[in-house]
């Protein structure tokens, strides 16, 4: 595949206005699937979280998960949407092996939530309003694993394996209105929007929003129109852009690619494109000879959903603070720079830091532990930060021990790692491993004297004024105390003894 020609970004903006449309799928974290009683859990042995209904066996029927409807309404309300007084599910008909019934139970012209907006905060603190067209309920499909072809693609595969564990997992699809007027900040707006949506879902507690596991997936529609033109240009849809950074890259790439085509007098083909993580490019999907006709019609196996206004108002009371307001508040309260704020949110540490601060730790230390060391640990262990086996209270305790001089930073990291390994709380680990800083001078002096006696030549050098030679003695003492001594104090004692 030859790389597409790209127009320099400045030139794109000089000639065109970008218009975006973002479709985000969020998997709900309900205990069970949307239309059956199977457990809703990521992974698992293939085809173990299945039953007649989610396998689409003949005769099986769906029953709506009430918790799924509740989450959908809360999401709709948090996106400032209207909540339908009456709406139905619809069947979206198309054939695909990982879709058990060969139709997806979704919503069509009667979404549960519609006509809202989400205010998102850009990197410089400016707030941009993204219009929300609709949020609707649907079910996820199973997964296909193509074996034998290159890079797991269906093309050239010898055979495919199907796993229906994900089939029937509740999804909310959130569709923006056309995002206009973002100009050069279009890629940033796209990222900020998905970021804000992710924060909102976490704050609502309705989804794990793990983009790496596909519990949040973004399709980015991008089109360009010549400056001054009213009507939209032809759009492309880049599918499954699965990290926050990729959203920004994909939008930027498509802007530059489309601009090059248009500048060259070409036309944009309305198509689905795939994002390439490796180089940030997009490539065309399988060309569609005809536009898909999904033959939507109301799902006759389900009854209409008619949420009472009382229930909707009850749910409205459970809404969290809007993401951008929360950001502003936290930035002010904790006195963070824009960059610090971004790191805090991008690592997903904000709630953990807040809880650590609540447990008595200073903001700076709490932030530093979570954003740096613990984020590294989470990456190394391939888990989310929140899934690490340490509580904010335990982190606060470690910070306290450092402040009291009972742990050095180095020891503290060992303690935390042991906690993460499941060896118990910080105090238990210290006790069990005997890791406390040796601060008792009499114990240290014995070790110092022993080291001095073992290296009389070094003692001579120190006495002769070569103070830097003390390092050798300090090293010996640290070794003898298995690193538990405070090196600074050891040095002081060595110099005192050699006076």
Partner 1 sequence: MTDVIRMTAAEVAAKIHAGELSAVEVTQAHLDRIAKVDDQIKAFLHVDAEGALETARKVDADIAAGKAPASPLAGVPLALKDVLTTEGVPTTCGSKTLEGWIPPYDSTVRRRLREADVVVLGKTNMDEFAMGSSTENSAFGPTHNPWDTTRVPGGSGGGSSASLAAFEAPLAIGTDTGGSIRQPAAVTGTVGVKPTYGSVSRYGLVAFSSSLDQAGPCARTVLDAALLHEIIAGHDPLDSTSINQPVPPVVEAAKQGMSGDLSGVRVGVVTEFQGEGYQPGVLRSFEAAVQQLRDLGAEIVEVSCPNFRYALPAYYLINPSECSSNLARFDAMRYGLRVGDDGTRSAEEVMSLSREAGFGAEVKRRIMIGTYALSAGYYDAYYGSAQKVRTLIIRDFEAAYQQVDVLVSPTTPTTAFKIGERIDDPMAMYVADLCTIPANLAGNAALSVPSGLSDDDGLPVGLQVMAPALADDRMYRVAAAYEQARDAAAGRTVLDQIPEL
Interface residues toward partner 1, by CB under 8 A: 52, 55-64, 91, 93, 95, 97, 100-103, 160, 162, 293, 295-297, 300-303
Closest approach, Cβ 432 to partner 1, in A, equals 51
DSSP 164: -
Closest approach, Cβ 145 to partner 1, in A, equals 13
Asked if 192 and 174 count as a contact pair (C-beta separation under 8 A), the reply is no
Closest approach, Cβ 165 to partner 1, in A, equals 14
Helix axes 323-334, 338-346, angle to 10 degrees: 120
Query: CA–CA separation, 59 vs 80, rounded Å?
Result: 39
Closest approach, Cβ 301 to partner 1, in A, equals 5
C-beta of 18 vs 62, nearer to partner 1 = 62
C-beta of 59 vs 287, nearer to partner 1 = 59
Q: What are phi and psi of 476, to 5 degrees?
A: -65, -40
Closest approach, Cβ 308 to partner 1, in A, equals 17
Residue holding tokens 């904010």? Answer: 392
C-beta of 96 vs 311, nearer to partner 1 = 96
Strand-pairing partners, residue 129, are 119
Closest approach, Cβ 56 to partner 1, in A, equals 5
Closest approach, Cβ 57 to partner 1, in A, equals 7
Reduced to 3 states (helix: H, G, I; strand: E, B; else coil), residue 298 is strand
C-beta of 56 vs 76, nearer to partner 1 = 56
Query: CA–CA separation, 132 vs 360, rounded Å?
Result: 40
Closest approach, Cβ 1 to partner 1, in A, equals 22
C-beta of 58 vs 434, nearer to partner 1 = 58
Here the tokens at position 40 are: 């809703």
C-beta of 64 vs 472, nearer to partner 1 = 64
Residue holding tokens 């970008």? Answer: 18
Here the tokens at position 275 are: 């994002």
Closest approach, Cβ 305 to partner 1, in A, equals 11
Asked if 34 and 289 count as a contact pair (C-beta separation under 8 A), the reply is no
Q: What angle do CA 83, 87, 90 make, to 5 degrees?
A: 130
Q: How close are the terminal C-alpha atoms of the chain, in Å?
A: 75
Q: In which region does residue 461 sit, left (phi positive, over 0), alpha (psi from -120 to 50) or beta (all else)?
A: alpha
Here the tokens at position 223 are: 């089109």
Query: CA–CA separation, 252 vs 145, rounded Å?
Result: 30
Closest approach, Cβ 59 to partner 1, in A, equals 4
Closest approach, Cβ 42 to partner 1, in A, equals 22
C-beta of 89 vs 193, nearer to partner 1 = 89
Sequence-ordered list of residues with C-beta below 8 angstroms from that of 131, at least 6 positions apart, any chain: 116, 117, 176, 177, 178, 179
C-beta of 157 vs 495, nearer to partner 1 = 157
Q: Which of 327, 419, 354, 429 has the alpha carbon at shortest distance from 121?
A: 327
C-beta of 117 vs 296, nearer to partner 1 = 296
CB atoms within 10 A of CB 275: 24
DSSP 290: S
Q: In which region does residue 418 sit, left (phi positive, over 0), alpha (psi from -120 to 50) or beta (all else)?
A: alpha
Residue 281 to residues 216, 264, 277, 309, Cα–Cα distance (Å): 21, 19, 7, 46
Query: CA–CA separation, 419 vs 423, rounded Å?
Result: 5
Q: In which region does residue 96 sit, left (phi positive, over 0), alpha (psi from -120 to 50) or beta (all else)?
A: beta
C-beta of 303 vs 386, nearer to partner 1 = 303
Closest approach, Cβ 54 to partner 1, in A, equals 11
C-beta of 95 vs 230, nearer to partner 1 = 95
C-beta of 39 vs 386, nearer to partner 1 = 39
């Amino acid at each position: 595949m030859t790389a597409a020609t790209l127009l320099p970004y400045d030139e794109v903006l000089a000639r065109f206005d970008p218009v975006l449309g973002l479709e985000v799928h969020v998997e709900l974290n309900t205990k069970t699937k949307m239309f059956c009683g199977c457990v809703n859990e990521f992974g698992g042995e293939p085809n173990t979280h299945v039953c007649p209904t989610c396998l689409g066996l003949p005769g099986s029927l769906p029953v709506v998960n009430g918790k799924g409807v509740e989450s959908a309404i809360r999401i709709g309300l948090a996106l400032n949407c209207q909540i339908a007084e009456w709406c139905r599910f619809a069947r979206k008909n198309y054939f695909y092996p990982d879709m058990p019934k060969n139709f997806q139970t979704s919503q069509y012209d009667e979404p549960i939530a519609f006509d809202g907006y989400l205010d998102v905060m850009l990197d410089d603190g400016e707030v941009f309003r993204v219009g929300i067209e609709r949020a609707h309920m649907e079910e996820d499909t199973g997964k296909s694993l193509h074996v034998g072809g290159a890079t797991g693609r269906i093309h050239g595969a010898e055979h495919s394996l199907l796993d229906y564990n994900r089939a029937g997992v509740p999804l909310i699809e959130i569709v923006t209105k056309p995002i206009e007027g973002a100009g050069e900040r279009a890629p940033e707006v796209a990222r900020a929007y998905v970021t804000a949506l992710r924060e909102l879902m976490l704050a609502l507690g309705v989804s794990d929003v793990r983009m790496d596991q596909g519990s949040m997936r973004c399709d980015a529609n991008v089109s360009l129109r010549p400056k001054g033109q009213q009507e939209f240009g032809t759009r492309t849809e880049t599918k499954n852009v699965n990290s926050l950074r990729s959203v920004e890259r994909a939008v930027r790439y498509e802007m530059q690619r489309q601009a090059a085509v248009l500048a060259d007098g070409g036309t944009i083909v309305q198509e689905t494109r795939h994002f390439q993580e490796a180089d940030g490019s997009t490539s065309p999907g399988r060309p569609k000879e005809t536009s898909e006709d999904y033959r939507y019609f109301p799902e006759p196996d389900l009854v209409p959903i008619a949420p009472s206004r009382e229930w909707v108002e009850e749910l409205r009371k459970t809404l969290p603070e809007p993401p951008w307001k929360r950001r502003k508040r936290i930035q002010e309260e904790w006195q963070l720079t824009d960059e610090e704020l971004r790191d805090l949110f991008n690592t997903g540490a904000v709630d953990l830091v807040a809880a650590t601060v609540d447990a008595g730790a200073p903001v700076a230390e709490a932030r530093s532990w979570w954003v740096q060391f613990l984020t590294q640990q989470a990456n190394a262990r391939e888990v989310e930060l929140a899934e690490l086996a340490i509580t904010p209270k335990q982190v606060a305790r470690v910070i306290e021990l450092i402040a009291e001089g009972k742990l050095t930073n180095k020891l503290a990291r060992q303690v935390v790692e042991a906690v993460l390994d499941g060896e118990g709380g910080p105090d238990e680990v210290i006790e069990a491993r005997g890791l406390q800083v040796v601060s008792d001078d009499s114990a240290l002096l014995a070790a110092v004297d022993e080291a001095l006696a073992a290296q009389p030549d070094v003692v001579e050098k120190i006495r002769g004024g070569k103070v830097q030679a003390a390092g050798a003695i300090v090293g010996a003492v640290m070794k003898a105390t298995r690193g538990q001594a405070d090196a600074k104090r050891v040095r002081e004692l060595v110099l005192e003894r050699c006076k």
